[in-house]
Amino acid sequence: MSAQLYALGRWCHRHAKATLLVWLAVALSIGGLAATFRGQFEDVFKIPGSSSQKAIDKLRMTFPQGAMTQGMAVFVAAEGQRIERFRPLIEETVTKLEQLDFVSSATSPWNELVSGMVSDDDRAAIVNFLVDVEGMPTPEQLQKLTAIADAIRPKLPEGATVDMGGHAFNVDLPEISPLEGVGLLVALVVLAVVLGSLVAAGLPVATAVIGVAITMSLLLLVARLTTVNSTTPMLALMLGLAVGIDYALFILSRHRDQLSQGMEPEESTARAVGTAGSAVVFAGLTVFIALLGLSVSGIPFLTIMGVFAAVAVVFGVIIALTLLPALMRLMGERMRPKRHSPKNAASIRQPYRWWITKVTGHPIAVLMVVTIGLGTLTIPGLRLHSSLPNSGQHSIEAPDRITYDLVSKHFGVGNNGPLVVTADIIGSDDPLGLIEDVKQEILTVEGVAAVPLATPNLNAEVGLIQVVPTTAPDDPATAELVQRLRDRHDEWQQVYGVETAVTGITALQIDVSDRLTGALLPFGLLVVGLSLILLAAVFRSVWVPIKATAGFLLSMGGAFGATTLVFNDGWLKEIVNVERGMPVISFLPILLMGVLFGLAMDYEVFLVSRIREEYVHGKPPLQAICDGYVASGPVVVAAALIMFSVFAFFVPGGMASIKQIAFALAVGVAIDAFLVRMTFVPAALALLGERAWWLPRWLDRLLPTFDVEGEVLSRELELAQWPGTDHVLYAEAIEVEDVVPPTSLALKPGNVIGIAGPVATRTGTALALTGRLGLTGGRARVAGHLLPGAEAAVHRRADYVDLAHERDIVGRLSRIELIPNSVVFIDSMECVSTLEEHHLLTDLVVRARSEGTTALVLCASNEAVLTPFNLDGVLTTAQQLDRSFR
């Protein structure tokens, strides 16, 4: 991959203006479409397959009013006055609401079919109305509702109030405040310090903003086609900015380091994209997979959140690999750092040298302090309380929050989230009596405050019973009430012959929370398993992934604990700008787990890959840790500071759910970068020593290979002129463990040779030299590509035909092409049995010699099979192969 990225970086550098114009055209065209056809964000949470969702879907067909979005107008009389004093104005409000085309019905507090809509002290009354819209009301519709209250308000007696709210107003629209801009400024300052140039610092910010703009435009378009909740765009914005800046920083930092060593800009750009870009691709891939893994919950809105957060990451990666090189070209020599004295460079890295010396000098003590500290912080996270957002969690100025507080004060908190019990009464001779019986049963259930409404539909098929809990919608006791009502299903079916179900907005939210909690374990196992496999493949080690995963669990536990203390318990609540403790949003745990996993693996790769590079180059383990840490530490710290600042400045203002997610991510990133990756990880590596890089041979063969630091590219560039001849195949002591002995071979175009020997050895040699079997030793250049490293390219250029697996040997031989500057291997020659097959092979040998552009290798079990073809020579695999043909 690094070779392809190297070529991509060079192309974008050479065609900088075209690359820039393409990205601007993409951004402007998608942005224009979004401005024209934008959709609306809606906090509508569905959970396919749950009993509450099935019940609400059935209500839509049999009792549509029961499934509609509910709003309310809350009237409150002045202290010492009764609500009856302005009953005519309340009735006028009911009439005006019913005149709106999108309002299905409005119910007077004194309607004989309802009860409990006038407070016990006669100071307050609720006018409930149903909004007949798909999803949530539009801002224009909400404005019409608010206008009715505004028109009635001046007519009320002095001290009386009217406010519009309810679930219809439960729309917390995402807003970007100046504080997010401050976060970008902090990121810009960090970039300027790390890169030593304000001009260079602006590039990562610019590319990240372009990527986020495209993602947000796509999100607005998709919101027109499907339901997108209001948290999704802000999550995509946070992640897009954070990873977009970080990924660009990794590439730009490598580019400037190379320029400071005198490298030409074009070559430096290509190498930076090929090396640091490989790590960026791997880092982005881990975040991408983790975010898409959110779909394991089976909840559509969470899947959409994961997909678009992943899209933001993808754009961050692609733009860093393409647009950034183009901008680096346009900046020209301004990207080259000013010369600094070695003394200044050493002073910059001195704090990192001091810290790593202390950490590796006392690894056991460091591991114990970090583990005990983060383990202690994890304990509060075990009681993390979550729920979906409701009006009580909005700002105190929001319309729905105002009515929420008024209802809580005058009617009880349960009236803000009534449950709905449905009953199938189609077989009853007395539907009204049956509904009344079930109502009385419900009133006996612990946790029920009132049943204000119990009525059948027009066809007497389904009964709808509204149940007011004694507790708030997000109180755990309300979830317990839902379960108690569901537990009575069998009893009521036996006694009354009715099927009952519990639904409504509150029940749906409880079911979503339960589904998310249930998905946490399988998703956690997926993330941890993925972490172990990916890191084992990258670092060819058993202990490195175990240590990295343990660190990730500590980071995640610490983030959960801090979030519980601040948001559930209300510690330091003033800092995050909330007035009291509250539940966190239900999908925060699974979302935090996925996002933090990807970000943690980023830092692990960037830090440990440099340490591994020093170790592979022959340094003792402890020195490799120190040198790798000092070399990569400043960039990792800068990346963490940037990501922390982006997340942290989303906390003080805006939506409650975004506060919680941003806070958890900011704390998680800080813990993971500074306590885990920069402290726990080097201490663990120091304690392990040589054992840190141990990997069983059988596992080494099973694991795929990832070139995250561009090792293949570095090797390709180092051996660019090797072997310095016109050979089409040049192999130097290649071997495959337990299959192919050390073998050296050189072939020029037009050479035709044979390899004779046992199937395993001769076939292994052929497969290895055509990129189909990985080498464990030596090196080779085949068809212009280097092995090991460029197996895919060699596979495409070098043909391998095994006649033992061909049903139509004549047809297969006829299709062989002699591609210039390549090689063709034909195996299992003993399968040639007909005169036609023999003639085709003879013609192929003659053509290969006469055209002189391709080498041909025939493989068989013994030399006698190959003798009739008049070959240049035959190698036998019984001995070590070492042969050159002229």
Strand, helix or coil at 448?
A: strand
Amino acid (one-letter) located at 239 = L
Does residue 198 or residue 210 have the better pLDDT? 210
Strand, helix or coil at 121?
A: coil
- Extract the tokens encoding 356: 């790593």
pLDDT at 886: 43
> φ, ψ for residue 682 (rounded to 5)?
-65, -35
Does residue 112 or residue 317 have the better pLDDT? 317
Q: For residues 704 and 536, what is the distance between their CA atoms, to the nearest angstrom?
A: 9
Q: For residues 66 and 465, what is the distance between their CA atoms, to the nearest angstrom?
A: 9
Closest C-alpha among 31, 41, 431, 369 to residue 234: 41
Domains of the chain, with CATH numbers? 2-37+175-383+512-693 (no CATH), 44-169+402-503 (no CATH), 719-884 (3.40.50.300)
What share of the chain in percent tops pLDDT 70? 94
pLDDT at 880: 45
End-to-end CA distance of the chain: give it in Å, rounded: 34
Q: For residues 191 and 203, what is the distance between their CA atoms, to the nearest angstrom?
A: 10
pLDDT at 557: 94
Average pLDDT of 579-600? 84
Strand, helix or coil at 799?
A: strand
- Extract the tokens encoding 241: 């900015």
On the question of pLDDT at 838 being above 90, the answer is: yes
Closest C-alpha among 213, 198, 200, 207 to residue 255: 200
| Phi-psi region at 587: left, alpha or beta (left = phi > 0; alpha = psi -120 to 50) | alpha
Average pLDDT of 8-30? 93
Average pLDDT of 828-848? 93
Q: Within 13 Å, how many C-alpha atoms sit on residue 94's CB side?
A: 16
Specify which of 228-232, 346-350, 684-688 reaches the highest per-range mean pLDDT. 684-688
Closest C-alpha among 75, 842, 116 to residue 468: 116
Helices marked H in 444-542 = 476-487, 489-496, 505-539
- Extract the tokens encoding 13: 């550098």
Cβ-contact 500, 492 below 8 angstroms = yes
pLDDT at 155: 92
pLDDT at 767: 94
pLDDT at 341: 46
Q: Confidence class of residue 709 from pLDDT cuts 50, 70 and 90?
A: low
Query: How many other CB atoms are there within 10 angstroms of residue 396's CB atom?
Result: 9
Q: For residues 211 and 187, what is the distance between their CA atoms, to the nearest angstrom?
A: 16
Q: What is the pLDDT of residues 654-703, one digit of tens each?
A: 677 788 888 999 999 999 999 999 999 999 999 999 898 888 888 887 88
Of 273-277, 578-582, 877-881, minimum mean pLDDT range: 877-881
Q: Confidence class of residue 540 from pLDDT cuts 50, 70 and 90?
A: confident
On the question of pLDDT at 632 being above 50, the answer is: yes
Closest C-alpha among 411, 209, 226, 419 to residue 316: 209
Is the four-CA dihedral 165, 168, 170, 176 of positive or negative sign?
negative
Q: For residues 867 and 838, what is the distance between their CA atoms, to the nearest angstrom?
A: 12
On the question of pLDDT at 34 being above 60, the answer is: yes
On the question of pLDDT at 132 being above 80, the answer is: yes
What share of the chain in percent tops pLDDT 90? 35
Q: What is the pLDDT of residues 756-805, one digit of tens each?
A: 989 888 999 999 999 999 888 899 999 988 888 788 889 999 999 999 99
Q: For residues 675 and 76, what is the distance between their CA atoms, to the nearest angstrom?
A: 54
Place of tokens 């960026």: 280
On the question of pLDDT at 484 being above 90, the answer is: yes
3-state helix, strand, coil in the chain (%, to 5): 60, 15, 25
Q: What is the pLDDT of residues 592-614, one digit of tens each?
A: 888 888 788 878 888 888 888 78
Q: Confidence class of residue 339 from pLDDT cuts 50, 70 and 90?
A: low
Average pLDDT of 713-721? 69
